[in-house]
């Protein structure tokens, strides 16, 4: 690296290299899966952009029969320096909006519960990142109801409504150095999807700890779309059992406007 560069220039240079490596890795992953997602027409309730991440190792470690997988998601809008996701008084509290793309390892049929295991592994991994010492997500006691067909871009999917019991992610360890650094990285990836965002890492974690990681019940939609041979898109959107009725209309609209781009 050029020794004449000042500290700011060096940081910008390293950031550009990191972005280039990340985008190259993501493009290769998307080609291996065979498709990618783009979320358009997202409600103003949510951050107007998305983060994309390689989920392959997380899902394999969870025991899922996949070759490759990716996650694209957004969360509650920024209010007073933090995402509404962490505000217990906001409708967007603990709400997710996004989708998975998956290349399966075999032609073995998946049940609706198998599809939801993608979300269970994802949620538990997220809770662990946010400091939860005992991440726990379960669909025990919940039933998934088939709502009907839904058109997503040029594809037709099956819309289900259901829920799960899990933990909230605002707990006593939400200010760790590990999480602060991770949130800086997440903000950078969000900003890649929308140059006008200018998100900061501090906005993607709770402003303050609220003690233990409390058990909560989430309710929402998932959409299962068969893209091609052993390739699926699984879209999702949820709130808590109390806020889901408020969010339903915006979630359905965003899911319908998602672009599934074959590669």
Q: What is the end-to-end Cα distance of the chain in Å, rounded? A: 36
In a domain, 112, yes or no: yes
**74-78: Cβ within 8 A, 24+ apart:** 74/39, 74/42, 74/46, 74/47, 74/48, 74/49, 74/50, 74/98, 74/190, 75/46, 75/47, 75/204, 76/45, 76/46, 76/47, 77/44, 77/45, 77/46, 77/47, 78/47, 78/199, 78/203
Residue holding tokens 């709770």? 206
In a domain, 54, yes or no: yes
| Residues near 68 by beta carbon (within 8 Å), at least 6 away in sequence | 29, 32, 33, 56, 102, 103
Query: According to the model, what pLDDT value does residue 176 have?
Result: 86
Structure tokens at 4: 């004449």
Total structural domains in the chain?
1
In a domain, 164, yes or no: yes
In a domain, 1, yes or no: no
Give dist(CA 59, CA 122) in Å, integer: 8
Q: Are 35 and 227 in contact (CB under 8 A)?
A: yes
Domain ranges, residue 157: 7-262
Query: According to the model, what pLDDT value does residue 67 have?
Result: 97
Structure tokens at 182: 């991770």
Query: According to the model, what pLDDT value does residue 6 have?
Result: 62
State how far the alpha carbon of 59 is from the alpha carbons of 31, 70, 88, in Å.
18, 10, 29
pTM for this predicted structure: 0.93
Query: According to the model, what pLDDT value does residue 119 have?
Result: 98
Question: Could you tell me where the beta strands, DSSP code E, fall in the chain?
Answer: 35-38, 51-54, 66-74, 78-79, 82-83, 97-104, 145-152, 155-167, 215-228, 231-240, 259-262
Give dist(CA 142, CA 175) in Å, integer: 33
Query: According to the model, what pLDDT value does residue 153 have?
Result: 85
In a domain, 148, yes or no: yes
pLDDT by 10s per residue, the chain, length 263 = 445 556 555 656 666 777 788 889 999 999 999 999 999 889 999 999 999 999 999 999 999 999 999 999 999 999 999 999 999 999 999 999 999 999 999 999 999 999 999 999 999 999 999 999 999 999 999 999 999 999 998 899 999 999 999 999 988 777 788 999 999 999 999 999 998 999 999 999 998 766 788 999 999 999 999 998 899 999 999 999 999 999 999 999 999 999 999 99
Which region holds residue 210: left if phi is over 0, alpha if psi is between -120 and 50, else beta? alpha
Q: What b-and-e string marks burial along 231-240, b requiring 16 or more CB atoms within 10 Å of the CB?
A: bbbbbbbbbb
Query: According to the model, what pLDDT value does residue 124 have?
Result: 98
| Residues near 30 by beta carbon (within 8 Å), at least 6 away in sequence | 36, 70, 101, 263
Is residue 177 classed as helix, strand or coil in its secondary structure?
helix
């Amino acid at each position: 690296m050029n020794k004449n560069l000042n500290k700011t220039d060096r940081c910008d240079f390293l950031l550009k290299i990191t972005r280039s490596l990340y985008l190259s890795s993501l493009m290769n992953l998307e080609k291996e899966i065979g498709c990618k997602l783009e979320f358009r027409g997202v409600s103003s309730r949510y951050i107007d952009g998305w983060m994309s991440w390689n989920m392959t190792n997380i899902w394999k470690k969870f025991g899922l029969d996949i070759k490759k997988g990716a996650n694209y998601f957004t969360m509650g809008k920024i209010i007073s320096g933090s995402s509404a996701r962490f505000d217990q008084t906001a409708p967007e509290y603990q709400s997710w909006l996004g989708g998975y793309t998956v290349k399966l390892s075999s032609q073995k049929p998946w049940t609706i519960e198998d599809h939801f295991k993608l979300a269970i592994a994802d949620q538990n991994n997220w809770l662990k990142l946010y400091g939860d010492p005992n991440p726990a997500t379960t669909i025990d006691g919940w039933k998934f109801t088939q709502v009907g067909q839904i058109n997503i871009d040029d594809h037709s999917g099956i819309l289900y409504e259901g829920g799960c019991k899990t933990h909230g992610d605002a707990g006593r360890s939400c200010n760790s150095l590990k999480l602060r650094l991770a949130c800086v990285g997440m903000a950078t990836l969000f900003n890649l999807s929308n140059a006008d965002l200018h998100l900061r890492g501090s906005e993607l974690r709770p402003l303050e700890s609220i003690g233990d990681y409390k058990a909560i019940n989430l309710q929402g939609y998932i959409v299962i779309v068969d893209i091609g041979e052993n390739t699926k898109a699984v879209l999702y959107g949820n709130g808590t059992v109390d806020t889901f009725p408020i969010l339903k209309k915006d979630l359905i609209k965003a899911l319908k406007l998602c672009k599934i781009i074959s590669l």
